[in-house]
Amino acid sequence: MNKTKISDSLRTRINHRSKGMCEYIDKDGRCRKTTGLSIHHKNPRSNNGENSMKNLIRVCNFHRKLEHGMVKLDEDGIKIKQQKAKCQRLKNIVSEFTRGLLDGKPSEKMCLVVCMPLAGFLKIYGYRCVVTEGTVNELEHFWITLPENIIIDPTANQFSRPDGNPMPKIYVGLKPEWYKNA
């Protein structure tokens, strides 16, 4: 792998070429972002990519993540890989929180017992969320709703999907159509 540092003179030439903007170009044209810019190898150093004007591009943080596969776009340009990672982080938080709150003991209103303090906990950590009352399979239920139609149901395992398959112990993802708001 080529670990040669990008020279200051080469950095200056790339910065001049970029005119202070991201150089990423897609079907909609050039990205216009001017913040969070860094120099990226088109052909990675791990693949013997060289430090040259031809192989280096100045990109914003989003396009760097896109190039490194940390973010994936669907056909409509929506970030999906990043959303899945966020859901997994939330699922881990919810699992630990639920285990500590209920200590394995059942509760008649387990969904509410867990959702109310969990929503407060998530708000402390900067998540925008609300506790939602509704029905699942015609039974009263509570879950947490986040932006972009993502829900957290820390007690989903008390329900089955419409096809009869059980729900996971904790559900984090897009709101299923059988979850009905009150």
What would the mean pLDDT of 63-80 be, rounded to a whole number? 64
Measured on CA atoms in the order 60, 36, 93, 134, is the torsion positive or negative? negative
Higher pLDDT: 157 or 75? It is 157
Which stretch of 46-60, 86-100, 144-158 has the lowest confidence by average pLDDT?
Answer: 86-100
CA distances from 181 to 48, 79, 133, 143, 168 (A): 54, 26, 6, 10, 20
Higher pLDDT: 81 or 114? It is 114
* pLDDT tens column, 109-148: 678 888 888 888 888 878 889 999 999 888 888 999 988 7
Does residue 101 have a pLDDT over 90? no
Q: Residue ranges per domain, the chain?
A: 8-67, 81-181
pLDDT, position 182: 81
Q: Quote the pTM value.
A: 0.49
* pLDDT tens column, 17-51: 999 999 988 777 888 888 889 898 888 887 888 99
pLDDT, position 45: 80
Higher pLDDT: 145 or 74? It is 145
Count other C-beta atoms under 10 Å from residue 16's C-beta: 10
Contact 143, 123 (CB under 8 A): no
Which stretch of 2-16, 22-36, 71-85, 98-112 has the lowest confidence by average pLDDT?
Answer: 71-85
